[in-house]
Amino acid sequence: RALPVTTHEVRAWTEPGAERQSHSDYEHHQATLTNGKIIAIVNQKGQVTFYRHPHKPLLQEFWRLRGEIGEDESSHGQYVSALNLEGREFRPIQGGKYSLKARFEATEGEKIYGMGQYQQANLDLKGGVLELAHRHSQA
């Protein structure tokens, strides 16, 4: 629905916004980034874990290396694997473009929806490989 223009003021730049609570910290060989209620912790090996509550992981990067990547001593050996997969890959491709892969641990019982109107039979896309590119041919 279109609304008539009632004023020429640009209020988005002049009205005070909500105060944000964001900060960063580095101690005990890990970096902590906090923005509102979301906390991101980067361990000394580079693995990122996102939290909404202090002790319950929301999202954790999927690492499968030959060395240990665990967040603390209780998880050492958890990610030792011959797969040799890092949680993030950033690679150049022809034409000056780049390819980015981000891998995250699966949570028991989670489902993934909301990829638009793909022409496929599956509603739950968990475990699938999806191209996140806009296509005009899909309806």
**Position 2 in a domain:** no
Average pLDDT, the chain: 76
Handedness of CA 55, 56, 59, 63 (dihedral sign): positive
Per the structure, how many domains does the chain have? 1
pLDDT for the residue numbered 72: 52
Which residue segment(s) compose the domain that 67 sits in? 21-102
- Is the model more confident about 81 or about 101? 101
- pTM of the predicted structure, to 2 decimals: 0.61
pLDDT tens digit sequence for 105-137 = 877 787 776 666 566 677 777 777 766 666 666
**Position 58 in a domain:** yes
**Position 124 in a domain:** no
